[in-house]
Structure 1
Amino acid sequence: MNPLSCAAAARLSLLRRAAPQRLPQRQTACPYSSSSSRVPLAFEHHKPPKDGRHHQDAPIIFMHGLFGSKKNNRSVSKVLARDLKRHVYTLDLRNHGDSPHAPKHDYLAMSGDVAGFIEQHGLKSTTLIGHSMGAKTAMTLALTEPSLIANLVSVDNAPVDAALGTDFAKYVHGMRKIDESDVTKQTEADKILQEYESEIGIRQFLLGNLHRPDGGKVLKYKVPLDILAKTLNGLGDFPFKDPGQVRFEKPALFVRGTHSKYVPDEVIPLIGQFFPRFSMVDIDAGHWVISEKPQLFLEAVIDFLSPKE
Structure 2
Amino acid sequence: MKLNYKKVGQGKPLIILHGLFGSADNWLSIAKELEEDYTMYLVDQRNHGDSPHSEEWSYKSMVDDLAAFMTSQGLEAAYIMGHSMGGKTAMNFALKYPNKVQKLIIADIAPRYYPPHHENILAGLNAIDMDHLASRKEADETLAEHIPEMGIRQFLMKSLGRDENRKFVWKINLPVITEKIDNVGAEIESDKSYAGPTLFMRGANSDYIQEKDKEDLEKYFPEYKLITIKNAGHWLHAEQPDAVVETIKAFLG
Aligned with 1:254: secondary structure? strand
Structure (1 or 2) with the larger CA radius of gyration: 1
User: Is residue 231 of structure 2 the alignment partner of residue 279 of structure 1?
Assistant: no
User: Is residue 216 of structure 2 the alignment partner of residue 266 of structure 1?
Assistant: no
User: Is residue 124 of structure 2 the alignment partner of residue 178 of structure 1?
Assistant: no
* Shift, 1:226, TM fit: 1.0
* Shift, 1:79, TM fit: 1.0
Q: Which letter maps to 1:275?
A: F
> 1:179 and 1:143 mapped to 2: Cα distance?
41
* Shift, 1:136, TM fit: 0.2
Aligned with 1:80: secondary structure? coil
Contact 2:17 2:83 in 1 (8 A): yes
TM-score after normalising by structure 2: 0.96
Partner of 2:84: 132
> 1:180 and 1:95 mapped to 2: Cα distance?
18
Q: Which letter maps to 2:9?
A: K
User: Is residue 244 of structure 2 the alignment partner of residue 297 of structure 1?
Assistant: yes
Per-residue CA deviations over 1:120-162 (Å, capped at 9, x if unaligned) read: 1111330111100000000000000111111110000011112
Partner of 1:60: 14
Structure 1 runs (4+) greater than 3 angstroms displaced? none
* Shift, 1:181, TM fit: 6.1
Q: Structure 2: any 5+ residue segments left out of the alignment? A: none
* Shift, 1:179, TM fit: 3.8
Per-residue CA deviations over 1:204-233 (Å, capped at 9, x if unaligned) read: 1100011111232x4221211110011111
> 2:103 and 2:244 mapped to 1: Cα distance?
17
* Shift, 1:203, TM fit: 0.6
Per-residue CA deviations over 1:54-92 (Å, capped at 9, x if unaligned) read: xxxx3000010001001111110111122xx11001000
Partner of 2:141: 191
Partner of 1:45: 7
Contact 1:107 1:238 in 2 (8 A): no
Aligned with 2:34: secondary structure? helix
Contact 1:65 1:134 in 2 (8 A): yes
TM-score after normalising by structure 1: 0.79
Q: Structure 1: any 5+ residue segments left out of the alignment? A: 1-38
Contact 1:107 1:239 in 2 (8 A): no
Q: Percent identity?
A: 34
Partner of 2:192: 246
Contact 2:13 2:40 in 1 (8 A): yes
User: Is residue 175 of structure 2 the alignment partner of residue 226 of structure 1?
Assistant: yes
Aligned with 2:164: secondary structure? helix
> 2:126 and 2:164 mapped to 1: Cα distance?
20
More strand by share: 2
> 1:179 and 1:151 mapped to 2: Cα distance?
44
What is the aligned residue count? Answer: 252
Partner of 2:23: 69
Q: Which letter maps to 2:242?
A: Q
2:106 to 154, 157, 160: 154
Choose between structure 1 and 2 for higher RCO, CA contacts under 8 A separated by at least 6 residues.
2
Partner of 2:51: 99
> 1:179 and 1:140 mapped to 2: Cα distance?
36
